[in-house]
Structure 1
Amino acid sequence: MRLISTLLIAIILLTGCLNGPSLDKPIAGAGTGNEQISSEPQAEAKPEDTSFHTDGEQPGYVQPPENKRNDADYPEADGDTEAVWMAVGDIMMHMPQLPAAYDKQRKRYNFNPFFEQVKPILEEGDWTLANLETPIAGKSLGYSGFPRFNAPSELAEALKYAGFNIITTANNHALDRGAEGLRLTLNNLLAQGFTVKGTARSKAEADKLTIVKHKGIRMGLLAYTYGTNGIALPKNKPYAVSIIEEATIIRDIGRLREAGADFITVALHFGTEYQAQPNDRQKALARKLIAAGADIIAGSHPHVVQPYETVETTAGDGSPRRGLIIYSMGNFLSNQRGDMKDFGVIYKVRIHKDKSGMTTIGDVQPIPTWVYRSGLKGSYRYMILPLERAVDSRQIKELTDADYESLIRSLDVMVQRITSMAAASNTKK
């Protein structure tokens, strides 16, 4: 383990980064994540190239310390200032994730325990983003998993508890419950105080520029998806889900720059599912958007982690500019297991603004995560774990030495995968 830690530190120093892996052995039965409570798991779909179109402790867990974030504690500086951008990949809610989270006494769901171990990390961010890949329209539209999701509205409360403050909703499951599901999802997210981007209830909401300011730094935010699984956009509401169109994205980047954004994040739901490397169309689009003025591309959809890279380009005034492309952050939360689908990455990126107003991307630190699933079928329990810490501390007593060795091997694979393009981009400089 010391060797892996040393390798991680060396990579961070050379490329500005860190990462995570996959335990394929079922702790209590395996599944694709597509199963319904009343039926057997469904067969997993073949990869598709979609680049453009309880508050109580659970057994075996270590209770993390409280780490409350309060922006009022960080007054704006007159000179240089720095803030932290954080993001995770897909948050999904398959049906097996529901039963054990239901509190029969209170007659409501409590998903907070899913996030307890990563909460202190997420609260370090000023902008902390997640891609919500399920409607959370609530009980009125019925709960369901794959292929057309709908989760309890209490998930929004848990995301707030975990430390997220920005949610992107442009993905292929945005219309799983139609226009009404989209509307209720937005209502539930906005009721928790989230900044939301990617879907809209009105043309005015869709056209509104999203700029979020922390510590004197203004981040512009955009979010788009390749499509909606063949579900047509609501009649007379083509704005309901933001679809990837290169010219439109470039135009929106320009609008944010004109409105005073210091840096711009573009969340893209694109790529080929279950592929460890980005395809050519992903790379071409992401690099064009960086050249057009985007600073960070936050990718999702493949359900496995793909590499990140830094790209050197030129700003409008001719000065050099560094962009960050994260092709896929994997699954942050789901019931999918095996083949690296139960692993994800928290990205922690430092954003620096100097006295002249120039904003730059600083250190990039990927933090690998693993969705630990315990219990028996019908009552699974879930916990997102910071993987390296879990392996070093061996905090889950239910795992065997062989389980931990498998996790260590997976961690090593993830480190190499995530940093493979970062090392290449550094070599080209």
Structure 2
Amino acid sequence: MRGPRKTYLLAMYLSVGLLTACSATSSPLSPSSSPSGKPAASPAPSGSVSAPPTASSSDDSKPEDVRPPEINTATLLAVGDVMVHSPQLPAYYDAKSNTYDMSPWFERVAPIFMQADWVIANLETPLAGADLKYTGFPRFNAPAELADALKGAGVQLVSTANNHSMDRGFTGIVRTLRNVRQAGLVPFGTSSSPEDAERLVIEERNGIKLGLLACTYGTNGIPVPEDKKYAVDLIDLPAIREHIHRLREAGADAVSVSLHFGTEYQRMPNEQQIAIAHDVVAAGADVVLGSHPHVVQPYDIIEVSAADSADGEPHRGVVIYSLGNFISNQSEEWQDVGLIFGIKLTKTTDANGESRTEWDAISLTPTKVHMQRVNKKKYYTILPMEQSIKAHNNPKLTAQDYTRMTKQLESLNKHLQSLVK
């Protein structure tokens, strides 16, 4: 909804007579949204203005202690759809232990994640147990070991609100939440009880509190039970506005909203996506993370005027309309590439305790799912494309692979910037 208060101390000195002075009291201005910087550029410096010390007739008076502002920074990274189609499992099953190990999927991107403070993924499959049968499209269910693999790679938070949330019914939601929490991940977007639905997800890193929420356009026609409407957060603008307000009131310095929306396999956002993203930023979101199309869509900067903002102050947010597939078995053109999207958050706290949080330094790291068939089994590795091309030392990649990946990367980089003015 709105960011921290900016307080400006206005002092007026009126000389009435020799050795006589007085000053006006300060008046706080109305709160404003968290201002944001331009992509890959530091935000313009801003801070409170303090009045000089008042004149005193005492010879031993001391000037006020003016401390420099405290500055904290933290980095957010986000990836798109984590999916498990049936061909992805056989190569990672250990019959002796009756377990799965999917950590090799993420070994090339884990070093990138380890450098970030928050890492968010869209978990687009239930983790509901073998007794409910592991299946891929159209109704997914994957082994709980996937949560362990994500956690081991450096992912910390998972959006669980998407069109596959109900693929194993309400039981699947309850079990998925239990399994991701047992792995040490923080889920948001689905709930196992009314009390669970009231929780606010605020994760603090380096003194910066990030509030998170997630919503989906629907659940593939699988109805959410009438008595359990709390189970899946759907895209509803009044509810989103209220949720952001609650996060701000609870102390969130910035807010990230994950939205599962758009048209599958379309590389540009549709009008509805653009309108919803604008409304969510107007409601106070600083970051909008899109998923569902299974291909990467561009990012954009959204400027909201004071007249359109929920708090009556200008606001600026960044949206990535679709992060694409992070891991899946989809191999059609543009479906085997995804994006690690990043921003830096900077919180400036003045000596009087007032603070403001800004975002800048957008980073774009395209990824590719490399698939290789060996002895009738398929093996998967997520490759950071630019790093892999520069290193050119992966024995699993052919010259043709490198050529195709180079062309994809060049096209994708232009595509990502295509909406930014």
2:254 maps to 1:263: yes
Q: Which residue of 1 aligns with 2:80?
A: 89
Seen in structure 2, the aligned counterparts of structure 1 residues 327 and 205 have a Cα distance that, compared at 3 Å, is same
Cα pair 1:322 1:360 within 8 Å, conserved: no
Cα pair 1:224 1:242 within 8 Å, conserved: yes
- 5+ residue gaps, structure 1, are 1-12, 18-76, 425-429
Q: Which residue of 2 aligns with 1:308?
A: 299
Q: Could you say what the CA RMSD is over the residues aligned between the two structures, in angstroms?
A: 1.9
Judge which range, 288-297 or 318-327, deviates more.
Answer: 318-327
Show CA shifts across 1:37-96 (max 9, x none): xxxxxxxxxxxxxxxxxxxxxxxxxxxxxxxxxxxxxxxx98110001110000000000
Show CA shifts across 1:179-233 (max 9, x none): 1111111110011122110111101111211111111111111100000000000
Q: Which residue of 1 aligns with 2:324?
A: 330
TM-score, normalised to structure 2's length? 0.80
What CA distance in whole angstroms lies between the structure 2 residues aligned with 1:80 and 1:14?
19
Amino acid at match of 2:181: L
Amino acid at match of 2:333: D
Q: Which residue of 2 aligns with 1:181?
A: 172
Cα pair 2:263 2:293 within 8 Å, conserved: yes
- Larger gyration radius, structure 1 or structure 2: 2
Q: Which residue of 2 aligns with 1:381?
A: 379
Instruction: State the shift of 1:139 in Å.
Output: 0.9
What CA distance in whole angstroms lies between the structure 2 residues aligned with 1:144 and 1:378?
19
2:7 maps to 1:16: no
2:189 maps to 1:201: no
Cα pair 1:277 1:306 within 8 Å, conserved: yes
SS in 2 for 1:238: helix
- Which of 328, 333, 343 matches 1:339? 333
Instruction: State the shift of 1:268 in Å.
Output: 0.2
Aligned residues: 352
Show CA shifts across 1:337-363 (max 9, x none): 021000000012100001241001110
- Which of 114, 130, 141 matches 2:132? 141
Q: Which residue of 2 aligns with 1:66?
A: none
Cα pair 2:80 2:325 within 8 Å, conserved: yes
Cα pair 1:300 1:330 within 8 Å, conserved: yes
What CA distance in whole angstroms lies between the structure 1 residues aligned with 2:375 and 2:72?
49
Instruction: State the shift of 1:116 in Å.
Output: 0.4
Q: Which residue of 1 aligns with 2:162?
A: 171
Q: Which residue of 2 aligns with 1:213?
A: 204
Cα pair 1:321 1:360 within 8 Å, conserved: no
Q: Which residue of 1 aligns with 2:143?
A: 152
Show CA shifts across 1:137-179 (max 9, x none): 1212111010000001110100100101101100000010111
- Which of 375, 393, 396 matches 1:395? 393
Instruction: State the shift of 1:105 in Å.
Output: 3.0
Amino acid at match of 1:251: E
Cα pair 2:281 2:315 within 8 Å, conserved: no
- What are the equivalent positions in structure 2 for 1:2-151 lying under 5 Å apart? 15-16=39-40, 79-151=70-142
Cα pair 2:284 2:315 within 8 Å, conserved: no
Cα pair 2:255 2:287 within 8 Å, conserved: yes
- 5+ residue gaps, structure 2, are 1-36, 42-67
What CA distance in whole angstroms lies between the structure 1 residues aligned with 2:203 and 2:38?
31
Q: Which residue of 1 aligns with 2:356?
A: 358
What CA distance in whole angstroms lies between the structure 2 residues aligned with 1:15 and 1:317?
24
Cα pair 1:270 1:302 within 8 Å, conserved: yes
Tell me which stretches of 4 or more aligned residues in structure 1 moved more than 3 Å: 313-321
Q: Which residue of 1 aligns with 2:222?
A: 231
What CA distance in whole angstroms lies between the structure 1 residues aligned with 2:301 and 2:76?
15
Amino acid at match of 1:408: T
SS in 2 for 1:367: strand
What CA distance in whole angstroms lies between the structure 1 residues aligned with 2:167 and 2:345?
35
2:234 maps to 1:243: yes
- Which of 267, 274, 277 matches 1:283? 274
Q: Which residue of 2 aligns with 1:420?
A: 418
What CA distance in whole angstroms lies between the structure 2 residues aligned with 1:262 and 1:14?
19
Q: Which residue of 2 aligns with 1:35?
A: none
SS in 1 for 2:365: strand
Seen in structure 2, the aligned counterparts of structure 1 residues 420 and 205 have a Cα distance that, compared at 3 Å, is same
What CA distance in whole angstroms lies between the structure 1 residues aligned with 2:412 and 2:116?
23
Q: Alignment identity in percent?
A: 45
Amino acid at match of 1:366: L
TM-score, normalised to structure 1's length? 0.79
Seen in structure 2, the aligned counterparts of structure 1 residues 318 and 358 have a Cα distance that, compared at 3 Å, is farther
Instruction: State the shift of 1:316 in Å.
Output: 7.5
SS in 2 for 1:336: coil
What CA distance in whole angstroms lies between the structure 2 residues aligned with 1:168 and 1:89?
10
SS in 2 for 1:151: coil
Amino acid at match of 2:260: H
Higher share in helix: 1
Instruction: State the shift of 1:15 in Å.
Output: 4.0
